[in-house]
Amino acid sequence: MGEEFLNNITPVVNDYRRVVDSLNYHRLTPEGVVKVNLPRIVIDLFFQDYFIAFKNACPNVTLELYATDRKINIIESGFDAGIRYSQDVPKEMIAIPFGENLSLIPVASPDYIREAGEPDTPAVIS
């Protein structure tokens, strides 16, 4: 009876080990497709450096980048991740700092200031 049990259970145990080994491989080796939504300026300013480093670290992962300046719901639109300015991250989303802190300052040519005057608020410019 013990020998019969051993003969029947051995293939099951071997199959179990193969499945566990396969799952561990996939857990340790990222692969697949990740859809990322991000503003166009992020690609222009600094994302290319991060993209190259990511591709070198995770060659089996395909990044599908969708650049748009429209504010969309990342989840409802079918994206896995998104890059947003800190003030644009909804409270229910998990946010991780990415990249450098950028400061934006308004600039204008002297000719513009002479013609239009110095604006009091950004809304005056539009």
Residue 87: predicted pLDDT: 73
Q: Give the Cα separation of 61 and 14 in Å (integer).
A: 30
- Indicate if the pLDDT at residue 102 is higher than 70: no
Tell me the H-state helices in the chain: 2-28, 40-42, 48-57, 110-116, 122-125
The per-residue pLDDT for range 28-76, each reduced to its tens digit, is 788 899 999 988 888 887 777 788 888 898 899 999 999 998 888 888 9
pLDDT at position 78 over 90: yes
